[in-house]
Each structure stands twice: as C-alpha cells, then as structure tokens.
Structure 1
Amino acid sequence: MNQPSILSSFVIPTWVDASLLKGMLRGLERESLRMQSNGFLSQKNHPDALGSALTHPHITTDYSEALMEFITTPKTTIAAALDELRDIHSVVHQQLEQGERLWPLSMPCMLDDNEENIRLAQYGRSHIGRFKTLYRHGLGVRYGRRMQTISGVHYNLSFPDQLFAVLQQHETKPELKQLSLQDYRSHRYFGLIRNFIRLIPLVMYMLGASPSVCRCFLTGREHHLQPLVKGTLYLPEATALRMGRLGYQNSAQKELGIHYNDLHDYLDGLQKAVHTPYPEFTDLGLNDAQGEPIQINDHVLQIENEYYSLVRPKQVPQAGETPSQALKNRGVGYVELRAVDVNPYSAIGIDEISAGFLESLALYCLLQDSPDLFAEEQEQIDHNQTEVVNRGRAADAKIQDGQTTVSLQDWAQRHLNAIQDCAILLDQMDGSALYREAIQVMQQRLDHVENTLSAHVIKDTLDNGGTWSFGSVMAQQHVNRYEQHQLSAEREQYFAELAQTSLQKQVQLEQDNDMSFEQYLAQYR
C-alpha cells in the first residue's frame, strides 16, 4: 500500500476548550424483534395500542412487521437519551401480546424454513404506506428476507456550531476559512465520517456482540461457521458476525464508488445509484405475473435509504424533502453511527459505557486530521474489518496500517490512548467521570479478551445450551427490568396521546389519496 499510516499522532489543540462542547446532542435508534413464547418470530400485527408505525415519532417498525424500532428525541445528556429509551421500552412491553417478548440479540431469534413467514411491515392503505411496504418487498426479492431480520443500534450525534466556528478560525488553508459555516460544518463532519470508517474495527472489537448465530438464520446459505452447541453456529474468535458477509451485503453497492471526501461528490454518487438500472435487478422484473409490483424500480438503489453504510451524514428532512435534498439544502446536521451491535446484557440494547465510548471516539474522529479516503485504502479497511469480525479475539489478530502490518492489540492501544484525551475533555464539559470510565472499561476489554461482549456471549450461549436458550433467559431478565421501570403519569399520558395522534394522522393520509397507487408509483418510477 502506498498511503501513509493514517491517524498516526494526535494532540488536542490547546484552544479546544470543554465549553465549546456544551450543546452536543445525541439520539438513539434501537431495533428489536418481537418473539413468540416458543422462540419463533412473532406473526402478529404491530400492536394497535402503540399507534401507527407509519406516523409515530418514537415507535415504528423496520423491515418486517415484527422488527420494532424505537427512536428517542435529541437529548443534551447521555442519561436523558437512555432514560427516554427506557420509557419507550416500558410502554412497548405493556402492549405486547400475551407471551411476546423483545429478542435481545442482534442476530435473529428462531426463523422457520419458509422466508414468506417473515412478514413485511404494513403501514396502511395510504400511498406512502404502500410505498414503504413495496420497498421492503423489493429488499426481500433482492437480498432475501432473512438478512433483514438483523437488529442494531444507531447512535446519532451532533456537535455545537460554536465548536465548528472556532475550528474554522484556526484553519490555515484560505479555502477552508472562506467557507460558510454550513459548508465548513459539513466538511468537518465528513472528516469525522472518514476517520470513523477507519476505526470501525475498533468499534467491532469493543462493542461487537454477535459472534454466533442460530442455525436457522443460515438455512440454504453457504457459510464458514462451526458448530458451538446444538442449533448454534459460531467462529471461535469472532466479534461481530452481523458486520461481516453474513450480515448486510450488497454486491451492487460495492461497485458504486460512493466516496466520503466531499458532500457534493457523496450526493452525486447516491443520486447516480438511485437512477441507474442494475441488470440483476432488471432480470427480477418490476411486477409479478398478476401485474402487482414487486420492487419500486430496478435501479442499484430503490431509494436512498437502501444504501447500507456503517456511518451516515444526516440532516433532518423538511416536508417533501428526500434525505439527499435535506443535506444539499442545509448541509450535514449530525452523523449516524450504525456499526453498533445490540448489547444483549442491556434491557434497552445499549448502556452508558458504550455511549460514552462512542462519543469519545466521535470527538477523536472529528478533531483528528482526516485525509481523503480512496479505493485503495478502503480495500485495506475492508480487510481489517473482515479480520476483526472473524477473529478479532485471536492473540495474533493483525491490522494493516498504511504500509505496515501491526497487531490489533498495539493498533487499538494507540488509538485508545488518544481517545482518552477526548474522554477527559467530555468529562470536563459534562461535569462527570462517565467518559473516562467508559475508556477504562474498553481498556479492560483490550487487556483481557474474556471481558469483551463477544466473549461473554459465547460463554453464556454455551452455559445456557444454545442461542435460543440464552436469548430467552436475557429476554425474561429484561421483562423484569421493564416492569420495574416506573413511568410518570405525565409520560404515560404523553405516549397515550401520541398513539392516538399517530393513528389519526394515518387516517388523514389514507383519505388524501388523489390518484391511484399505480399512478403514484409510475410517477416515482
């Protein structure tokens, strides 16, 4: 490789003061499958009492009717974000059908042999509702429905404009000093994204919790896994199989050449993918034999959200805007960190230690130099990710770093030392010791591989006799936590009113159809 070692040295500039971080916001999105008492995927509808999955701001569904997604509002502290996520879990638990529970692992609960029993999410009779279901049908046709039952946690994070303003003042390149604050903010967020991509192997090692899968997930697929215990497959030193070739994969997307070097290039690449037919998807056809649509279009991406990336630049869309239009109009407003496994030991899928680590890492990625990222380095990063996914807990795990190959241990230690300085800064901003504590926990995971989440999952899967048994034990523990969580009367009323309002909004959307769905789809196509 001809590029230098990236992220080689790091010192926080003396003029970056903790006060500049006041006003950071974070929001959480957590996915979880509804599971029947027998361990199989729920076949029941999304509970009516929770409101409309189409219009509810906190409680919706992702790919399948049984794959729930919980979304917090942006919060000024980690504690506030986790508290709201606990409230949402408690509300949902109260409304689950008898015997149903939330599956606590990233890799799915029991799936039967028939993929059609993974029911697509339903959003009602409005055009946008039917469009969302058709998009999911297209995903199933293209990649299979099993792949869409994987769960994760998305961590949304923004830094205050005052930080970007001071960073810009200290730039030495005239072209950067002359940018508008909006464009400069986007420039720095893209730097964060490139560095986060470089450091995803570190996230996989520290937070990976999917070293094993239920055998049913791999029905009809070739794989490289070994038996762990009856019904469970694994790799002995794996960390995050969800992030490897058994997880979200799209060969068409690998050919896109979407880069994170510049907002305009990124948007151009995304738009090209949304408008470019892909022969394999063309061969699938747009409609079935009865003339019913089976995918939105035959393009590389049906819609922008089909682009599976491990970190995304985001901007809140206004009415009628696509995600790309929002980014183009107002620049990057926050980043979505998507490379995070569900933590099965947390009733809400993530704990404050993971959150503190991710925010410290994100600040490191933002403040560190971030050279452009091209195909040659991306190949190296992909190699590193594969190594850590499959054998990150091996004593001889290696990382390609520029022109050298180093041990994962040494590479991770170097970055953890630098991230520690960012944790200290965040603690000063927060008036806490949370961020340093998070780095201490990560240090213990690096020093003693048996402390990693993935090692715990393997041990507990063995001790419980398989994935389903382990998942069921954890699910029941989480039920107890939900039932102990006390919602205030105000919060109870808030969620009850939201459920009703969301149902009313869905009815309104269904009454506003002024053309047939066929016409609506033809317009989009």
Structure 2
Amino acid sequence: MCQPESTSTALTPTWLDGSFFQGMLRGIERESLRMQSNGYLSQQDHPAALGAALTHPHITTDYAEALMEFITPPLDSIEKTLDYLTDIHRFVFQHLPEGEKLWPLSMPCMLDNDENNIRLAQYGRSNIGQFKTLYRRGLGLRYGRRMQTISGVHYNVSFPDHLFAALQQQESDTRLKELSLQDYRSHRYFGLIRNFIRLSPMVMYLLGASPSVCKCFLTGREHHLLPLVRGTLFLPYATALRMGNFGYQNSAQKQLGIHYNHIKGYVSELQKAVYTPFAPFSRLGLNDENGEPLQINDHVLQIENEYYSIIRPKQVPLDGETPSQALAHRGVSYVELRAVDVNPYSPIGIDEYSAAFLEILASYCLITDSPMLDEEEQNQIERNQAEVVNRGRAPNAKILIAEQSIGLDQWIAQHLEHMQPYAEYLDQAYTTDLYSTALQRMLQRNRDVDVTLSAQVIHDTIQHGGTWSFGSYMAQQHVQYYQSLQCKPEIQTYFNALTETSLQQQQQLESDHSITFEQYLEKFR
C-alpha cells in the first residue's frame, strides 16, 4: 500500500461487488462544549433534564462537565445515523440552560487563566461514578485540563460477516484459511487499522477543520503559532492542529511499543501499560495532603482508554470486562475512526459526504493488502502527519513514502483514484450515488485547497474578526436550525423515557453500599 499502482483496478479483487457490503453498520460519537451566553465555558451541571451522564446510552459527558458527547447506536445506513444524531441534538437544545449554546469547533475558546475553572465531569456518588471522575482528575493532573476541552468526531464502522467469509475463501495462505471466523475477522480489521494509519495524513488534509486556535488555549505554553486576528493563533497552511502537538499527546506512551500487527500483541502491550509505573506520574502522587485520591494509579495508563490513538479496534465489553479483555475473548467487532475534526458548518458536527468518505476509506483499507507496520515506517508516518497538520495546504507540501518524497496532492489523488471502485460498490449496496458524490467532493478539495474545511475556517475567522466571533456566529446558526425543526412527539417521548430510565439506573447504582469507594479503588491500585 505504500506505493500505489497506476490503476485502481489493480487493487480491486475481481470477485468483489456491492452485495458484499450490504449489512455494514455505522455509529457516530460527537463531542461538543456547552458555552455560556458570554462565551466562556459553562460552569453549570450537566442538565438533569437530559438524564444521568453515567447511564444514558446516547447523551453523556466526556472529560469536562461541560463537554457533551452524543452517541448513536449502530445503524444500517448513513441517513438513519445522521437522522438519529440530529434527533439527539434537537432534544439536547431543548434542555440546555438559559443562554447556553454548543461550541461548534474542535478547539475550545474563551477559557480563563485558571484551569481549575474547567470542571471535571461528574457522575454521581456510586463507586463507578466516582471512579470515572477520578480518572479525569488524573488526566488533568498529567496533561492539564485544557486538553480536556478539545472536541472530535469518532466514526464507528463494522463490516458484515459474509464479507469476511468471502475474503477468507480467497486466501492462499493455509494458516489464514484455517482460522476461525472470529480470528480471521480480527486479522482483517487489524489490516484495516494499519492502512488507516498509513492514510491518516489524507484524512487530516481532507477533513481537518482546526487550522487555528483561540489564544487562551495556549496560556502558559510555548508554541510556534502566529497571530491571525485578535485573540487567534494559526499556521498559514495548517489543517488540523487538534491532531498535532496541541492535541492529545502523551510522551510516556511513545515508549509503550503498542503495535497493530496482530491482536494478541496489541492486547498484551495495552494491558502491560496499565500495570507499568511511570516515574513522572509517580512524582505527582496518588493522593493529596488530605488523603483524597488524585489519580487512579501512577502507571503509564490509568486505564486502557487513556491510550490515545487515531483508530481503535473495538469489542463491546460485558460487565466486568476491560476493553482489551473483550477483544481477547471475542475479537474485533468494529473499528473506531478517531482522526476526524468537528465540522463547524454542520449542526451535528459531520455531514453525509464526510461520513460516506470515511466508509469508502474504511472499505479500501480493509480490502487492500496491509503489510506489517514496523517502527521505521511508523516514525515516517508520524512525520507525514506533522507535515500535513502544520503545512498540508502549502503548495509544496510533500510527504515521505518508502523514503521517497512525493507531493501530498499527488499522493492523495492516487489513493482517491484507487477508492473509486469502493465508492461504486457502496453506491450499489445502498442504491444511491452518495458515495461517488462524496469522493468527487474530496477530489475537489485535493485539487483546490481553498475549498478544504481548514481553508474555509481561516477565511471565516478573518471575516468575523476572530475565533470567538466566528464560533459564536456558527453556534447561533445551529440554534436557529434546531428551532426551525419540527419535533416529532414520538421522538420526544422516546428521549424523555431514556432520561427517566438513566436517572433510575444511576440511583440504583448509588444505593449499593456493599463496599466503600476506598475499597473499590484499592482493587485497581
């Protein structure tokens, strides 16, 4: 996959057609900050009318109390998924505190100088609720709370078993043919993951929408950004600063050696990190001077989800299972694509064309050969990512592929050409032209940097006089959009019921006094 062939048909199995993609499922997780009417981060609790963040299946909070997360179930079409996400947003907008809006950009704005004013997410008095808040306290201690205000979109994709069965039948390696369907499925998903990592610079260019940041985000930090307009910093050709040094970074994780070459190695390396002490975190202490816990432990990872990655293999955990145990027991059931910025021009943070492109890309990554990823290539990919994050729209932007320099636009064009058959398969599977249209839009972004999301954000930030003004304008546009939508009574009833159920479930958890939180925490230490 490193150096594509000259024609896309060479990469496409002759037996493949749209029927093999019928039965795909997709789901979306979208994050967004609640902002006050004065533009600053909300200091209010998660609205009770939205249910309990701990137990609600679709409306929760992420790291900060003001950072909302909206989660769709897995659904069988893009249209249904985006409609579901829209329904979540509509319900949320009805119940936001007076004057609050949802911040529409990945990077936050209007944070004050005191990080302690970024409230940690609260999940109630149950042991698991206190544990989740403590995890976030540890993150704030390790990396700073400002990092916990960044928003993103996670796109979850799974493929039908009949596609994996057909792929396995075509294998020439007898060892692969003899694997169980579960193990073979995991094998192919890990191939998808390696290829997605290789192609991540393309995702950052085509979907990146964070070329600038509010000056307040970098308070007390050294940086190389330049002033754009008052209160806004940027790089002239940046695409996705969220995915660079100003986003989620953990220097300790660089030493972990977690690889995506096979599931057993990934699981064991991830579990090892949760049990490996890290001296800088040990020096932070486990408890404060009053004996209150500061972090779950002093290990490289407090829990497995602390491992930041642009894509994750996923399996739904059963009660008592960690994510890696679920993978070890039942293999990979879907992948989570995490390198996606919030699209500020969409009221739900993502549009149908980005969704379709991500599914084309995932299909391409699944089917195309995927060599093992060694450390040298991984380092090269990270350099390519940095180049695209910081200067992806530069006329002379280049990346290294197999130690050869190639123009970024040329490299992207080659892969988009190879993806054309996959767009056609998906159009065929869903009786639509959405996928081909989406691919054409991405080709246009590659040909003309001025139509990329990142270029539009820079233009509109200048037009509005800064990040705060631009973000506030788009936030108000989204408010008006949801006010214009007619609310279906059955949708209202459905979400009201979820609110009540989640509150009851939290209450049940808080009524369990079988062990204290100190005893509960001791099991993890």
Is 1:35–1:109's contact at 8 Å kept on the other side of the alignment? no
Distance (Å, rounded) in 2 between the aligned partners of 1:453 and 1:29: 20
Is 1:7–1:369's contact at 8 Å kept on the other side of the alignment? no
Distance (Å, rounded) in 1 between the aligned partners of 2:313 and 2:394: 33
What residue identity is the alignment partner of 2:69?
A: E
Tell me, what secondary structure is at the counterpart of 1:297?
coil
Tell me, what secondary structure is at the counterpart of 1:157?
strand
Distance (Å, rounded) in 2 between the aligned partners of 1:431 and 1:351: 19
Distance (Å, rounded) in 1 between the aligned partners of 2:258 and 2:3: 20
2:163 is matched with which residue?
163
Tell me, what secondary structure is at the counterpart of 2:320?
coil
What residue identity is the alignment partner of 2:473?
A: V
CA apart distance, 1:109: 2.2
> Which residues of 2 match residues 327-342 of structure 1 at below 5 A?
327-342=327-342
2:211 is matched with which residue?
211
2:299 is matched with which residue?
299
Deviations along 1:274-313, one digit per CA (max 9) or x if unpaired, are 0000000001110001110000000000000000000000
CA apart distance, 1:241: 0.2
CA apart distance, 1:403: 2.7
Deviations along 1:218-261, one digit per CA (max 9) or x if unpaired, are 00000010000000000000000000001110000011000000
1:34 aligned onto 2:39: no
CA apart distance, 1:320: 1.6
Tell me, what secondary structure is at the counterpart of 2:27?
strand
1:505 is matched with which residue?
505
2:202 is matched with which residue?
202
Is 2:192–2:370's contact at 8 Å kept on the other side of the alignment? yes
What residue identity is the alignment partner of 2:79?
A: A
Distance (Å, rounded) in 1 between the aligned partners of 2:519 and 2:320: 18
Tell me, what secondary structure is at the counterpart of 1:385?
helix
1:393 is matched with which residue?
393
CA apart distance, 1:492: 0.7
Tell me, what secondary structure is at the counterpart of 1:199?
helix
1:482 is matched with which residue?
482
> Which residues of 2 match residues 370-519 of structure 1 at below 5 A?
370-519=370-519
Gaps of 5+ in 1: none
2:520 is matched with which residue?
520
1:231 is matched with which residue?
231
1:107 is matched with which residue?
107
Distance (Å, rounded) in 1 between the aligned partners of 2:314 and 2:4: 24
CA apart distance, 1:513: 2.5
What residue identity is the alignment partner of 1:351?
A: D
1:180 aligned onto 2:164: no
Tell me, what secondary structure is at the counterpart of 1:284?
coil
CA apart distance, 1:483: 1.3
The 10-residue stretch of structure 1 (201-210 or 477-486) with the greater mean CA deviation from structure 2: 477-486
Is 1:225–1:235's contact at 8 Å kept on the other side of the alignment? yes
CA apart distance, 1:360: 0.4
> Which residues of 2 match residues 350-365 of structure 1 at below 5 A?
350-365=350-365
What residue identity is the alignment partner of 2:345?
A: Y
Distance (Å, rounded) in 2 between the aligned partners of 1:304 and 1:8: 38
CA apart distance, 1:486: 2.4
Distance (Å, rounded) in 1 between the aligned partners of 2:469 and 2:87: 27
> Which residues of 2 match residues 109-128 of structure 1 at below 5 A?
109-128=109-128
CA apart distance, 1:58: 0.3
Distance (Å, rounded) in 1 between the aligned partners of 2:471 and 2:448: 24
CA apart distance, 1:148: 1.1
Tell me, what secondary structure is at the counterpart of 1:438?
helix
Distance (Å, rounded) in 2 between the aligned partners of 1:345 and 1:37: 20
Structure 2-normalised TM-score?
0.99
Distance 1:321 1:7, change over 3 A: farther
The 10-residue stretch of structure 1 (214-223 or 413-422) with the greater mean CA deviation from structure 2: 413-422
Is 1:273–1:299's contact at 8 Å kept on the other side of the alignment? yes
Is 2:62–2:68's contact at 8 Å kept on the other side of the alignment? yes
Is 2:18–2:424's contact at 8 Å kept on the other side of the alignment? no
Is 1:72–1:85's contact at 8 Å kept on the other side of the alignment? yes
What residue identity is the alignment partner of 1:285?
A: G
> Which residues of 2 match residues 48-197 of structure 1 at below 5 A?
48-197=48-197
Is 1:25–1:76's contact at 8 Å kept on the other side of the alignment? yes
Tell me, what secondary structure is at the counterpart of 1:190?
helix
Distance (Å, rounded) in 2 between the aligned partners of 1:362 and 1:12: 14
What residue identity is the alignment partner of 1:442?
A: M
Distance (Å, rounded) in 2 between the aligned partners of 1:272 and 1:329: 17
CA apart distance, 1:8: 4.6
Is 2:21–2:426's contact at 8 Å kept on the other side of the alignment? yes
Is 2:4–2:414's contact at 8 Å kept on the other side of the alignment? no
Distance (Å, rounded) in 1 between the aligned partners of 2:515 and 2:366: 47
Distance (Å, rounded) in 1 between the aligned partners of 2:398 and 2:30: 31
Tell me, what secondary structure is at the counterpart of 2:399?
strand
Distance (Å, rounded) in 2 between the aligned partners of 1:194 and 1:337: 12
CA apart distance, 1:317: 1.0
Distance (Å, rounded) in 2 between the aligned partners of 1:6 and 1:65: 45
Distance (Å, rounded) in 1 between the aligned partners of 2:212 and 2:404: 31
CA apart distance, 1:175: 0.4
Distance (Å, rounded) in 2 between the aligned partners of 1:316 and 1:14: 34
The 10-residue stretch of structure 1 (395-404 or 210-219) with the greater mean CA deviation from structure 2: 395-404
2:310 is matched with which residue?
310
Tell me, what secondary structure is at the counterpart of 1:394?
coil
Distance (Å, rounded) in 2 between the aligned partners of 1:47 and 1:417: 47
Distance (Å, rounded) in 2 between the aligned partners of 1:402 and 1:484: 52
Distance (Å, rounded) in 1 between the aligned partners of 2:40 and 2:230: 17
The 10-residue stretch of structure 1 (508-517 or 81-90) with the greater mean CA deviation from structure 2: 508-517
Distance (Å, rounded) in 2 between the aligned partners of 1:520 and 1:477: 46
Is 1:5–1:403's contact at 8 Å kept on the other side of the alignment? no
What residue identity is the alignment partner of 1:474?
A: M
Is 1:7–1:368's contact at 8 Å kept on the other side of the alignment? no
Distance (Å, rounded) in 1 between the aligned partners of 2:485 and 2:285: 49
Distance (Å, rounded) in 2 between the aligned partners of 1:138 and 1:374: 32
Distance (Å, rounded) in 1 between the aligned partners of 2:44 and 2:343: 25
Is 2:111–2:216's contact at 8 Å kept on the other side of the alignment? yes
Supply the RMSD in Å over aligned alpha carbons: 0.9
Is 2:315–2:331's contact at 8 Å kept on the other side of the alignment? yes
Deviations along 1:344-379, one digit per CA (max 9) or x if unpaired, are 000000000000110001100001000000110000
Distance (Å, rounded) in 1 between the aligned partners of 2:271 and 2:240: 31
Tell me, what secondary structure is at the counterpart of 2:523?
helix
How many pairs does the alignment contain?
A: 522
Structure 1-normalised TM-score?
0.99
Is 2:138–2:295's contact at 8 Å kept on the other side of the alignment? yes
